[in-house]
């Protein structure tokens, strides 16, 4: 079985109507049901399975859109304040320029667009690839689109991570408090230090927030890094595909015509040379 082809098929299907929202939306729905068990009665109906499925799909899709928007903005904020400290627009332009400078574009339209506005140039490239009827070009375009699907999934999973971390913190506060009381009893017997009840709650709260925030931050950092990698991959693939399937193929007829004209000119010159030699030979024959 060709797993790569199966993976391309699944991600291609998710790209229809931006169905990638269902992945993050279903995750968020599961987290919310876990956080608020009373939602089960609203979402799931044992006697009406079809209605339950429709409700789940609609809610998951809406939650997915909201999660993606929130996750995308949070990733932009992280990118601006941590790491390279670039805005999303700066990151896009630098990656676009880094890839585009590797090729010698001849088409005046795309050259002018790249000088004036790289965002418009990128949209133009995307449009030309989307309209192409070439089978190889379509296959490459699907690959580039898959990067967008994966990016949307990674960004959409960021909010559920924070919600799940907060849920675990509050839902298991009593368990954390029990561990803290055990530690405090050991501390009392060892150093005769008595910690009041409010102090125990404060310690549990601070430690819980610190631990869950650290875990959530690590996961979100990984998701944001993968989302950025997918965004950069998409930019690179679109530019490379445009140059190979659109730019080169538009210049092939022109180059072929030039080569044909050169060949005709060469043949003409050879004919004139042979004719001149024939005239010279005839002239010498009658002298």
Rounded CA-CA distance 270/39 in Å is 88
The whole model's pTM is what?
0.73
Block means of pLDDT (10 residues each) for the chain, 287 residues, are: 57 58 92 89 81 88 93 92 83 89 85 89 90 84 86 94 90 71 62 60 73 91 93 91 80 50 56 59 55
Residue 275 sits at the vertex; the CA angle it makes with 269 and 278, to the nearest 5 degrees, is 145
Domain residue ranges in the chain: 3-248
Rounded CA-CA distance 75/63 in Å is 18
Q: Among all chains, which residue has been given the structure tokens 């089978």?
A: 135
What integer pLDDT is reported at residue 12 of this predicted model? 54
Tokens representing 40 are 């089960």
Burial 57-72 (b: 16+ CB within 10 A, else e): eebbbebbbbbbebbb
What integer pLDDT is reported at residue 155 of this predicted model? 94
| HSE-up of residue 211 (Cα within 13 Å, Cβ side) | 11
H or E stretch covering 198: helix 197-242
Burial 152-186 (b: 16+ CB within 10 A, else e): bbbbbbbbbbbbbbbbbbeeeeeebbeebeeebee
What integer pLDDT is reported at residue 254 of this predicted model? 44
Instruction: Answer whether 14's CB lies under 8 Å from 149's CB.
Output: yes
């Amino acid at each position: 079985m060709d797993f790569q082809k199966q993976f391309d098929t699944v991600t291609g299907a998710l790209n229809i109507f931006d169905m990638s929202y269902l992945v993050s939306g279903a995750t968020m729905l599961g987290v919310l049901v876990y956080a608020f068990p009373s939602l089960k009665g609203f979402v799931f109906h044992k006697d009406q399975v079809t209605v339950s499925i429709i409700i789940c799909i609609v809610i998951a899709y809406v939650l997915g859109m909201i999660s993606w928007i929130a996750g995308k903005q949070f990733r932009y904020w992280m990118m601006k304040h941590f790491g390279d400290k670039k805005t999303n627009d700066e990151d896009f332009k630098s990656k676009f320029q880094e890839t585009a400078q590797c090729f010698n574009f001849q088409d005046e339209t795309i050259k002018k667009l790249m000088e004036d506005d790289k965002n418009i140039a990128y949209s133009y490239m995307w449009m030309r690839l989307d309209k192409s009827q070439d089978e190889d070009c379509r296959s490459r375009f699907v690959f580039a689109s898959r990067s967008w699907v994966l990016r949307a999934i990674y960004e959409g999973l960021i909010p559920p991570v924070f919600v799940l971390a907060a849920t675990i913190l509050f839902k298991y506060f009593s368990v954390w408090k029990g561990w803290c009381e055990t530690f405090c009893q050991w501390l009392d017997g060892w150093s005769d230090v008595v910690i009041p009840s409010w102090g125990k709650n404060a310690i549990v709260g601070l430690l819980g927030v610190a631990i869950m925030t650290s875990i959530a931050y690590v996961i979100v950092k990984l998701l944001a890094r993968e989302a950025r990698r997918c965004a950069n991959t998409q930019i690179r693939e679109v530019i490379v595909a445009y140059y190979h399937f659109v730019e080169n193929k538009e210049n092939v007829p022109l180059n072929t015509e030039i080569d044909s004209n050169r060949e005709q000119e060469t043949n003409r010159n050879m004919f004139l040379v042979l004719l001149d030699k024939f005239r010279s030979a005839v002239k010498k024959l009658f002298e």
